[in-house]
A and B are shown apart, each in its own frame.
Chain A
């Protein structure tokens, strides 16, 4: 069975400092990995994905993520956080053997960026 874990319920960071949101996964095949952001009372917005190729993936709003197969991780990063980055972040995984199937989401990490 596929699963994804986000070990931190909340991440606090000062504006201008680097932001990292952790994600680890467990799948039996090759993973397709995704990051989404959710602002209050809104749906989920897609940030970036890893399908194949370069391990460093760049996405929207200055975010990037690094796929690490040996550590089964896909951490989200931003070099300099903004107050407007405060939101709920979800990591998700889908396995290549069931590529049309559901995305399995992590529990989410609340990011709080203070001025």
Chain B
């Protein structure tokens, strides 16, 4: 596609449920990044992929968070047993060069009740 696509755009779930957030990067971009933005806050790095491997997953908050990328393309961020503090906008970005800018999607807004 023309840009980074994320789905769903909005997700409301109950505490304790599992959620999956999807990111479809720009075609041909080898690097893919997940960030989290809480209301009115800055961006918190979660994980990044180079191809299908994740050289840096240091930002994942707990073992309830996991992510995978398949075929060097689509990535899924999974949050198990969601908690209210997981409520945030989850942003995905991709990049085609090692020094270039990241291209961001519109984000997935997660609300945990």
Contacts and interface: CB of A to CB of B under 8 A. Distances in A.
Contacts of B1: none
A43 B106 contact: yes
A101 to B, nearest CB: 6
B99 A104 contact: no
B33 A102 contact: yes
A46 B99 contact: no
B21 to A, nearest CB: 14
Nearest to A51: B99
Interface stretch (A11-19, A21-29, A73-81, A105-113): A105-113
B7 to A, nearest CB: 13
Contact of B56 (A36, A96, A102): A102
B103 A46 contact: yes
A90 B56 contact: no
A106 B45 CA distance: 11
Contacts of B31: 100
Interface residues of B, number: 25
A45 B3 CA distance: 11
Interface in B72-113: 91, 93, 98-107
A100 B50 CA distance: 8
B78 to A, nearest CB: 20
A100 B55 contact: yes
B104 A99 contact: no
Given A46-B102, A102-B56, 19 more contacts: A42-B106, A43-B4, A43-B104, A43-B106, A43-B107, A44-B43, A45-B104, A46-B101, A46-B103, A96-B99, A99-B98, A100-B48, A101-B48, A102-B48, A104-B45, A105-B35, A105-B42, A105-B43, A106-B42
The 5 A-B pairs at the shortest CB distance, nearest first, are namely A43-B104, A99-B98, A105-B43, A107-B42, A44-B104
9 contacts: A34-B101, A43-B106, A44-B91, A45-B104, A46-B101, A46-B103, A90-B42, A101-B56, A105-B45
